[in-house]
Amino acid sequence: MQKITTYLWFDNQAEEAAQFYTSLFADSRILEVQRYPEGAPGPAGTAMIVTFELAGQRFIALNGGPQFTFNEAVSLYVDCESQEEVDELWAKLTDRGEESRCGWLKDRWGLSWQIIPRRLSELLSDPDPARAQRAMQAMLGMQKIDVQALEKAAAG
């Protein structure tokens, strides 16, 4: 087991969310589902804890009830190799979710994600400060990151 594992608190959708998330990324799978026994806080037989991997990284999801909800203070950052990967993940994660700014979104359960093309980091750290600044200004006006528009802005 990895030393530090992200633990996600859901109301009652942990298993559904884990199934959805594992469908999005290669090298992903549900490892274990622990179910509530009789007399537990949740309905007997329903998922209590779901352990799963996304792209080889382990996560744990708990059906803990409505007391706590996700907010933007924590997000999952996805390093995307291409615009196609950005487009595909953006479409799937915003389905019944909500778009935000600068590559951020919330999925249907309210979990925040950053869907970021690797090229954005390269442009923002360009040795030419003017190019980096133009790329930054373009990014600040975007919801989903558009690499072609970033390249055009950086070029001036």
pLDDT of residue 109: 98
pLDDT of residue 152: 98
- 70-156 CATH: 3.10.180.10
Residue 147, CA atoms < 13 Å, CB-side half-sphere: 16
pLDDT confidence of 93, banded at 50, 70, 90? Answer: very high
pLDDT confidence of 16, banded at 50, 70, 90? Answer: very high
Domain ranges across the chain: 1-68, 70-156
If you average pLDDT over every residue of the chain, what do you get?
A: 97
Dump pLDDT digits (tens) for 17-72. 999 999 999 999 999 999 999 999 889 999 999 999 999 999 999 999 999 999 99
Instruction: Tell me what percent of the residues of the chain surpass a pLDDT of 90.
Output: 97
pLDDT of residue 137: 98
In the CATH hierarchy, which top-level class contains the domain 1-68?
alpha beta
